[in-house]
Chain A
């Protein structure tokens, strides 16, 4: 099937109007390679890097083509055949995929060092002295975009087991993520608080391996399988009513473990149970009929808008639930965002590998956010969160970014204050 219904939803096709930059075109290249009429070339590798992997095409596809799987398989082929060029690229892949995102303790240690670098004044000195000019190109681009590391990570904010004050209705586990853990551990704390407020006993293992999303996305499917096994061992799905994720990018990968481990007789069944229990936090809250907060999240009434993380709306088909939770908030007016399901350009490491296209998408997104007149934009993925915050800052706009669950947590916390009660 190649009807072309995906074309108008593809941000890269929209930018160039060229078929090869569209889902239909990319699939035709994959098919030509499978049929033996085209080789896995550097051009093909470039094309697959140009794809955001936003999966808007998957929502649009009437025929139900699983682009996500085709995309990851193609990136895998590219890696196996070494179609990508450059030693620098190999080094960065090794550092991120083999070291940082495979060893959670090393990742946290690196996060701690970076936090020290950022706060101690060393960073300020380096920048003042112009020493960043000495960095190689990729790192020079990366340096100002590096997110601010949190002072305390999730394991310092959340106990391994926390139980609600009243009756325990459900037993759940919370996955803390990698970037979420280093940069936004407060969102993990908020997630646990909101779950507690809704009768969930929450287990949060202190040191969690990466879910493998970044490995799968970059063509390392075997490594992704290993990460999945580690996480299943750590969080046995049989034990819980639900396994909760609050990051759109992770969730989209996390709910397809049976695709990765389908051929592994030892883990096949656990992976199936895992997939059945995996829930995005908004999805879970709506499913269990979460309690509407009795207080507003802020002192003053505000208007806010919502940006759909690609992997939440397209990858997980979760878009009504976050909106429903936001509409429950007292003192909050929700304004719809034009093109809310259009990628913001963050897309994992895309902002680093394809800075021009990422920048264009970010400016488009910021323009739409500005047009809503909202004081805050809610979004549920750390990549989008960082990207949009940077875009708003660059544009000189004073609009905050927050995870919907943080707003909900804030509203619950303020219930006791007696103020802003309704």
Chain B
């Protein structure tokens, strides 16, 4: 760890106040990591700005001294995007957490970046509205982090991801300029869509200080079902058949036997632990449409050899099931000390093949993998249950990872569907993008942050 020179610390204190600058070891250690396994680096300071003005001045100060900045929210990211870089100042935006306005006439919500995702949907719900993106960590993740990572969630199939709900952003650039991108208009084609450049930029291009989000009407009804299968392929075929029947449910989540067992250990929601695959299916919308879709989905699942299809009794049970599923990743940590989570995504038509390949790879390398994911989106989370202290096993994990990535790319897929590149997925990005588009991306970074001050070393070196 490098410590910050006294004048820089004093200048930070003069901007945000002494209570909002942390430099003691006991304060910094807890900011050395995010939700990603095995990555750790102690920052030289953590700063809590309260206003956009303070963010601007912090960035200007960092630019003057060439001090790198890593912006962070609640630190729940899963690719190391907000893990500190050596010598950096962490700009923690959790105290800029106001929901500034809900506009029911324009169906928008304006919030500061530190607002908690769940609170945003709660605020929308008070007006009969809905903010659909629901990453697994929504009870604590911040909207700024969601936008920076372009987070997905369980409802991606029908409702899309964070990008689909961002109408405008306020961003502080690397040189301290403040820009507003996008507008509250449904249609807006004035110039390049620069806001889209910042969505999913992982804090490498600017610091998001305000977001304007699109809301939709809250669905009137919802039905949640569990379908149980003895073969994973049958679950995958069920998903394809549902989509082919022109039904777009809001959720089609898959858990394999290992994952379902861990989740059940934690949540006690009655997940079966003896079948090869569990599909969590949810449809929402007009009550008549929901009833019709639910009955069709049930028949399709049964036609594909589902052992049983159960329907949640009420909203409380439905919420419990979805909540249990959201904790699948962390629940897998019950088995082994280290959990390494992947985020590969393939076109839906290739899903069954991918699932089989993952199982075969795990068997070939004698590794334990729990797989779950958003089957409706083709987005899988094969999770290695391993031990970082066992070097031989870690070598096999890396071999298996390489094989899974190679297969994903062969099938026309992507190495990350919703977690981002951060530090964790860097080695494979050029391979996926190809040289030309990889270099184009670096040119964009060069244009916006020539001195590499903002989250340096993330996405690419």
The reply to whether B265 and A64 form a contact with Cβ atoms under 8 Å apart is: yes
B27 lies within 8 A of A63 (CB): no
Question: Chain B interface mostly helix, strand, loop or mixed?
Answer: mixed
A18 to B27, Cβ gap below 8 A?
yes
Q: How far apart are the CA atoms of A4 and B22 in the complex, in Å?
A: 20
B-contacting residues of A (Cβ < 8 Å)? 1-5, 7-8, 17-20, 22, 24-26, 28-29, 32, 37-38, 41, 43-44, 47, 61-64
The interface of chain B, by Cβ under 8 A from chain A, is: 22, 24-27, 29-35, 37, 48, 74-76, 94-95, 116, 137, 139-140, 263, 265-267, 327-331, 333-334, 339
Besides the known contacts A47-B26, A64-B333, 4 further A-B residue pairs in the complex with CB atoms under 8 A apart:
A19-B75, A20-B30, A38-B29, A62-B330
In contact, B339 and A5 (Cβ under 8 angstroms): no
CB <8 Å contact, A63 and B94: no
With CB as the reference atom, state the residue of chain A lying closest to B330. A62
Tell me whether A5 and B139 are in contact in the complex, defined as CB-CB below 8 angstroms, given that A63-B334, A64-B334 are known contacts. yes
18 A-B pairs with CB atoms under 8 Å apart are: A1-B37, A1-B339, A4-B140, A5-B139, A18-B30, A19-B75, A20-B29, A37-B29, A38-B25, A38-B26, A38-B29, A61-B330, A62-B266, A62-B329, A63-B330, A64-B265, A64-B331, A64-B334
Q: Are B27 and A5 in contact (CB under 8 A)?
A: no
Output the nearest chain A residue to B268 by Cβ-Cβ distance.
A317
Give Cα A24 to B25, complex, Å.
16
| Contact of B330 with A8 in the complex, beta carbons under 8 Å | no
What residue of chain A has the Cβ atom nearest to residue B97's Cβ? A17
Given A7-B74, A64-B265, CB of A2 within 8 Å of CB of B35: yes
Kindly provide the distance from the CB of A377 to the nearest chain B CB, expressed in whole angstroms. 24
Q: Is the CB of B140 within 8 A of A7?
A: yes
CB distance from A120 to the nearest CB of B (A): 48
CA distance A7 to B117 in the complex (A): 14
Query: Please, which residues of chain A bring their CB within 8 A of the CB of B74?
Result: 4, 7
In the complex the two chains form, what is the Cα distance from A64 to B264 in whole Å?
Answer: 12
CB distance from A40 to the nearest CB of B (A): 11
Question: Which residues of A are found within 8 Å of B48, using beta-carbon distances?
Answer: 17
**Known: A5-B330, A28-B32, A28-B33. Contact between A43 and B139, CB under 8 A?**
no
B137 touches A3 (CB 8 A): yes
Q: Which residues of B contact A5 (CB under 8 A)?
A: 137, 139-140, 327, 330
Of B22, B30, B74, B75, most A-chain CB atoms within 10 Å: B30
Instruction: Report A-chain residues with C-beta under 8 Å of the C-beta of B94.
Output: 17
CA A1 to CA B35, docked complex, whole Å: 7
**Contacting B26 at CB < 8 Å: which of A3, A4, A24, A41?**
A41
Instruction: Evaluate contact between A24 and B30: CB separation under 8 angstroms.
Output: yes
Find chain A residues with CB under 8 A from B32 CB.
28
Partner of A4, one of B35, B37, B265: B35
Cα distance, A36 to B333, chains bound together (Å): 24
Q: How far is the CB of B110 from chain A (nearest CB, A)?
A: 21
Selected from A3, A18, A25, A41, the residue in CB contact (under 8 A) with B35 is A3
Contact B330 A19 (CB under 8 A): no
A-side contacts of B25, CB under 8 Å: 38, 41
Task: Write the chain A residue with the least CB distance to B266.
Answer: A62
Chain A residues in 8 Å Cβ range of B139: 5, 8
- CB of B117 to closest CB in A, whole Å: 11
**In the complex, A44 Cα to B328 Cα: how many Å?**
32
Q: Is the CB of B24 within 8 A of A29?
A: no
What are the residues of chain A within 8 A of B329 when measuring CB–CB?
Answer: 3, 62
Partner of B333, one of A19, A22, A26, A62: A62
Q: What residues of chain B lie closer than 8 Å to A28, measured between beta carbons?
A: 29-30, 32-33
* Minimum Cβ distance to chain A for residue B280 (Å): 16
Contact pick for B30, options A19, A37, A62, CB 8 Å = A19
Give the residues in chain A near B116, CB-CB below 8 Å. 8
Contacts of B30 in A (CB 8 A): 18-20, 22, 24-26, 28-29
Nearest neighbor of A29 in chain B, beta-carbon distance: B29
Residues of A within 8 A of B265 (CB): 64
Contact (Cβ within 8 A) A63 B331: yes
Answer whether A8 and B140 are a contact pair too, CB < 8 Å, given A3-B76, A17-B94, A17-B95.
yes
A1-B330, A19-B31, A19-B75 known; A44 vs B26 contact (CB < 8 Å):
yes
Cα–Cα, bound, A279→B257 (Å): 33
CA distance A8 to B35 in the complex (A): 15
Distance in Å: Cβ of A379 to nearest Cβ of chain B: 24
Complex Cα distance A3/B339, Å?
A: 11
Once bound together, how far apart are the Cα atoms of A183 and B274, in whole Å? 51
Shortest Cβ distance from B267 into A: residue = A62
Q: What A residues does B35 contact at CB under 8 A?
A: 2-4
Indicate if the CB atoms of B24 and A43 lie closer than 8 Å.
yes
A43 CA to B26 CA, complexed, in Å: 7
Question: A3 and B330: CB pair below 8 A?
Answer: yes
Alpha-carbon distance A37/B334, docked complex (angstroms): 26
Q: Report A-chain residues with C-beta under 8 Å of the C-beta of B267.
A: 62
- Find out whether the CB atom of A32 lies under 8 angstroms from the CB atom of B327: no
Let me know if B327 and A2 touch, CB within 8 A.
Answer: no
Q: How far is the CA of A43 from the CA of B116 in the complex (A)?
A: 29
Q: Which residues of B contact A26 (CB under 8 A)?
A: 30
Interface centre among A19, A25, A43 (most CB of B within 10 A): A19
Separation in Å of the A70 CB from the closest CB of chain B? Answer: 14
Report the bound CA distance from A38 to B24 in whole Å: 11
Specify which chain B residues have a CB less than 8 angstroms from the CB of A7 in the assembled complex. Answer: 74, 140
Q: Evaluate whether A2 and B33 lie within 8 angstroms (CB atoms) in the complex, with A19-B75, A62-B333 already known.
A: yes
Residues of chain B lying within 8 A (CB to CB) of residue A37:
29
Check B266–A4 contact: CB distance below 8 A.
Answer: no
Query: How long is the Cα–Cα vector from A47 to B32 in the complex, in angstroms?
Result: 17
Between B75, B76, B139, B140, the greatest number of chain A beta carbons within 10 A of the residue's beta carbon is seen for B140
The distance in angstroms between the C-alpha atoms of A33 and B140, with both chains bound, is 27
- Residue numbers in A under 8 Å from B33 (CB-CB): 2, 28
In the complex the two chains form, what is the Cα distance from A37 to B40 in whole Å?
12
CB distance from A64 to the nearest CB of B (A): 5
A4 and B29 contact, CB distance less than 8 A: no
**A346 CB to nearest chain B CB (Å):** 26
The 6 closest A-B pairs by CB, nearest first: A25-B30, A19-B30, A63-B333, A62-B330, A62-B327, A1-B333
Q: Tell me, rounded to whole Å, the shortest Cβ–Cβ distance linking A61 to chain B.
A: 7
Q: Roughly how many angstroms separate A4 CA and B331 CA in the complex, as a whole number?
A: 12
Closest beta carbon of chain A to B383's beta carbon, Å:
11
**Shortest CB distance A23–B (Å):** 10
- Nearest-CB distance from A241 to chain B (Å)? 25
| Residues in chain A near residue B22, CB distance under 8 A | 18
With a CB–CB cut-off of 8 A, which chain B residues contact A20? Answer: 26-27, 29-30
Bound-state CA distance A18–B334 (Å) is: 26
Residues of chain A lying within 8 A (CB to CB) of residue B266: 61-64
Chain A contacts for B24, CB-based, 8 A: 43
Q: Which residues of A contact B140 (CB under 8 A)?
A: 4-5, 7-8
Task: Please name the residue on chain A nearest to B337 by beta carbon.
Answer: A1
- In this complex, the member of A8, A18, A25, A43 whose beta carbon has the largest number of chain B beta carbons within 10 angstroms is A18
B385 to chain A, nearest CB (A): 11
CA distance A62 to B140 in the complex (A): 14
The interface residues of chain B lying within 8 Å CB-to-CB of A8 are 116, 139-140
Residue in B closest to A39 when the chains form the complex, CB atoms: B25
How far, in Å, is B217 (CB) from chain A's closest CB? Answer: 27
How far does the Cβ of A10 sit from chain B's closest Cβ, in whole Å? 10
- A63 CA to B267 CA, complexed, in Å: 11
Q: How far is the CA of A64 from the CA of B333 in the complex (A)?
A: 8
Alpha-carbon distance A29/B42, docked complex (angstroms): 12
- Chain B residues with CB under 8 Å of A25's CB are 29-30
Q: Are A4 and B334 in contact (CB under 8 A)?
A: no
| CA A58 to CA B331, docked complex, whole Å | 13
For the complex, what is the distance from the CA of A7 to the CA of B331, rounded to whole Å? 16
Which of B29, B35, B139, B339 is most buried by chain A, counting CB atoms within 10 A of its CB?
B29
Bound: A20/B27 CA distance, A: 6
